[in-house]
Structure 1
Amino acid sequence: MKSYDLIVIGSGPAGEKAAVKAAYFGNTVALIEKEQAFGGAGVQTGTLPSKTLKETALYLSGIYQKGVFGIDKDLGRETGIQDFMYRKNIVVNTMDKIIKYNLEKHGVTVFQGTASFIDKNHVKISGETSETIYGKYILIATGSYPYHPKNIPFDNERIHDSDSILNIKKFPKSICVLGAGVIGCEYATIFAAMGIKTYIVNNKDEILTFLDKEISKALVTQMKKRNISILFNNSIVDYHIPDDPDQNLNLTLESGEILQVDSFLFAAGRSGNIKLLQCENAGIKTGDRETIIVNEMFQSNIPNIYAVGDTIGFPALASTSMEQGRIAVTHMFKTADLESLADIFPYGIYTIPEVSLIGLTEEKAKENGIDYNVGYSYYRDISRGMIMGYPDNGFLKLIFESKTKIVIGVHIIGHHATELIHYGMAIIREKHTLSHIIGTVFNYPTLHNLYKYASYDGLGNLAGKKIKKAGEQFIP
């Protein structure tokens, strides 16, 4: 029987980084992947494909350039689904090769097949042939899959989840997205950018409830400008799929209204991908939505078995999953280089426009009894924003303590928000004040000047000299 210091199950962001780090420190590592393609949801069905489609939609639609330079882009022919999927396929296929090469370069032994526990140290691999291997430590990084409510008749043709939507063969004439979380909002804005009539059905009265409410409302405003209809406080109670593929789906809403659309996307939840592992054979405790329960070191109740990434639930981000994998390896092999996950990390929502945040929302600051103030700056008011054409009336919002002027929250909606947030992360981690930001020199013209002008605005607000209000229009 083959024996390894570490067996990693899954080649997604968490699994790959953990396997490579353990091998780098001289340990023997085996990685088991049940799919033919590597990278898990991060590469194959989630993070990178959807973000690539977002950039493709921006390019093909030209929505950020229309009228800005005096002419509009013309592709010279009708855009087809092949154009839409072209870059996504290149990115996915290239990353698959990069991951395989990275594992090979570090000497990780790769097994293709489905993993299942025999006991806490032995894993069976079922593929073209069956094999059992031994691991001193085992890391579960099997990711997640789209949750399928029993009442939804998924057919992967017109009724989709967030995996099958990536394989559509033609553009829908219209689409309904159920769920206003990150996945639902991202896909809704992508389809709307391509000129597809889009509906969002949401059982709450707001979208992305973890956002600062001002940012959430601003995103709703931009969605409506893109012809997205959001049906708040509603749900779908019945689905009728006609035999004729040219006829619309009939979706009966809780309100009694019947929504007729060409396609439907369910985007309201995912579950841990652990069904095939037979965790009970190893005595592993599991939680809600098929997740594995772990401690702060990502160790399960079985000391030699760890779990990371989507399979342990929140926050289920590719960025945090990679670090979780590395941290788990630190504790297994006492590498003493990365002990814990950063307590502050950014969130990026790749909608059109993008949204990104770090630190406290205004609502959380109120809840915590903090004496705070805010400062705003707008893309349209700074030189780089003028050059770009004030895309989506984007803005940056700083939240800071009134007495110390220390920044405690950064919230951005607009083009490149997910890139701009990282300076905000440094500000909050280092407990910088408005004065620190004002005293920083940025390249000119760049969008980073949003931070400086928001700081000046915040100082003006403290002095009772309100410079502008959120959403206030200014045309130079």
Structure 2
Amino acid sequence: MKDQYDLIVIGSGPAGEKAAVKAAYHGYSVAVVEKNTRFGGAGTNTGTLPSKTLKETALYYSGFYEKGLFGVDKELERSANAQDFFFRKNQVVDSQEEGIEKNFRLHGIDTFHGAGKLLGPNKAGITGKDNCELNGKFILVATGSYPFQPEGIPFDGCYVHDSDTILQINRIPKSIVIVGAGVIGCEYATIFSVMGSNVKLVNSREEILTFLDREICHALQDQMKEDGVDFIFGNRVEDVAILPEEHEHNVHAKLTNGEPLQADMFLYAAGRSGCSAGLGLEEVGVELGKRGTIVVDQSYRTAVPSVFAVGDIIGFPSLASTGMDQGRVAVTHMFGLHEIEKISEHFPYGIYTIPEVSVFGITEDEAIEQEIPHVIGRAKYTDMPRGKIMGVDEGLLKIIVEKHTRTILGVHIFGKIATELIHYGMSLVENRETLSDVISRVYNTPTLHELYKYAAYNALIEGHYLDKPTGH
């Protein structure tokens, strides 16, 4: 260990890890400071990987995609308890954390455990297991975000949870109220409903996931209703109270319209804030934005030239995928490397609900608002041979196509492994490929990738480029 480095990274989540490794790969000395005992940040420990693993676990224990598929429903010898539910999640988290630590060792990166704080433009202090001061040519802040906890809600980590503590429950609730119909709220609503919980999803707006194409959004919402999620729109929750264990429902709350809510558990999943408190940022001249975020320029440099910031701490889009590349790009600008100098302005969204949703490019509403002459192509999972084999009874791939040039402008998918299928659609949009490009290619059959070809043919028909078929 030493006290002089080319780069000091505060935070070992996806953004911090990838930045540290890239700098070390190019021969620069790097120190990583992590306040928690485990590496990986929210991406590994409380967010991305745990929640997605729980989704797969819920599918396994519920037999969601296998019900009736082979003539008999899958039956478990015993019902799943919380220990079963979290078993695989814990394995994945442990394996990923070990992989991150190994990656640091492989690249000769020094690691320090403790709370980091900027003592100057080129100095950081560490308080905790490792008490010391480090000097660095550059400092990168990648401390991530934490769940927003509004006043008046008695978060106790037992009955009333945020998106961190919900991963530590010791039982699967019979009923749960979830506040917030964004990505996190919708993901957990589908997970718990599939596991048999009675789920009420409360949202102040009149619909979920407002950034999605409306047709795809409504398809997801309809499926969630079919799976037992009860939507309460245009309301907020107030006066949340925890009752003693002898009561039938441990959490009692009231909606803004006066209606009571009762459930075994309560999850508040509406917003996150940047982990910037206590870092000494403003003292050294770093500008802060809303909810504790850090203001940066296009190179991820703050108002202090030697200090950069990436990942959730800088706000939107707050995705692990974008944070990783932000970290890599920041290192490029720090050391003048002749590599990728900015990440793409456009990126896919993956929503790990049951079923999944993933999108890239413009929506149908955006095409209308921008007065782009367009046609729509659709293909259903149930019409695909692979879909029939898999036994899925829902799923839709939708493409937005510029009418005159037949260029594909947007791809929107609702259904199983949508987050995997979207990347081919992303390539189509980025390369401005046409319907002819899609239908001229040979795809493995039976596969779900045939959805693209069928959607392209459907767009050709809807755009009156082809006569409508009279049969199959």
TM-score by length of 2: 0.97
1:71-110 matched pairs, under 5 angstroms: 71-110=72-111
CA contact 2:252–2:263 (8 Å) conserved in 1: yes
Partner of 2:287: 285
CA contact 1:34–1:112 (8 Å) conserved in 2: yes
CA contact 1:174–1:263 (8 Å) conserved in 2: yes
1:1-40 matched pairs, under 5 angstroms: 2-40=3-41
Partner of 2:401: 400
CA distance in 1, matches of 2:247, 2:120: 52
CA distance in 2, matches of 1:344, 1:443: 28
CA contact 2:282–2:288 (8 Å) conserved in 1: no
Aligned partner of 1:94: which letter?
S
* Aligned counterpart for 1:360 among listed residues 359, 362, 365: 362
1:44-443 matched pairs, under 5 angstroms: 44-244=45-245, 246-248=247-249, 249-391=251-393, 393-443=394-444
CA contact 1:457–1:466 (8 Å) conserved in 2: no
CA distance in 2, matches of 1:156, 1:128: 26
Aligned partner of 2:362: which letter?
L
Which sections of structure 2, spanning at least 5 residues, go unmatched? none
CA distance in 2, matches of 1:79, 1:244: 22
Larger deviation, residues 424-433 vs 74-83? 74-83
Deviations 1:48-70 (A, max 9, x none): 00000000000110011101111
* 3-state SS in 2 of match to 1:306: strand
* 3-state SS in 1 of match to 2:120: coil
Deviation of 1:247 after TM superposition, in Å, equals 3.1
Partner of 1:471: none
CA distance in 2, matches of 1:401, 1:381: 25
Deviation of 1:245 after TM superposition, in Å, equals 5.3
1:447-462 matched pairs, under 5 angstroms: 447-462=448-463
Deviation of 1:129 after TM superposition, in Å, equals 4.7
Percent identical pairs in the alignment equals 52
Deviation of 1:246 after TM superposition, in Å, equals 4.1
CA distance in 2, matches of 1:464, 1:206: 35
CA contact 2:8–2:33 (8 Å) conserved in 1: yes
* 3-state SS in 2 of match to 1:275: coil
* 3-state SS in 2 of match to 1:276: coil
Deviations 1:229-270 (A, max 9, x none): 000111112112112354312110112110111100000000
CA contact 1:120–1:281 (8 Å) conserved in 2: no
Deviation of 1:75 after TM superposition, in Å, equals 1.5
Pair 1:269–1:467, CA change in 2 (3 A) = farther
Aligned residues: 469
Deviation of 1:281 after TM superposition, in Å, equals 2.3
Deviations 1:118-168 (A, max 9, x none): 111110000135211101001000000000101111000000000000000
Pair 1:260–1:28, CA change in 2 (3 A) = same
Which sections of structure 1, spanning at least 5 residues, go unmatched? 469-473
Deviation of 1:423 after TM superposition, in Å, equals 0.1
Aligned partner of 1:228: which letter?
V
Aligned partner of 2:350: which letter?
G
RMSD over equivalenced CA pairs, Å: 1.5
Pair 1:110–1:129, CA change in 2 (3 A) = closer
CA distance in 1, matches of 2:439, 2:392: 23
CA distance in 1, matches of 2:51, 2:120: 37
CA distance in 1, matches of 2:169, 2:224: 23
Deviation of 1:15 after TM superposition, in Å, equals 0.3
* 3-state SS in 1 of match to 2:89: helix
Larger deviation, residues 430-439 vs 337-346? 337-346
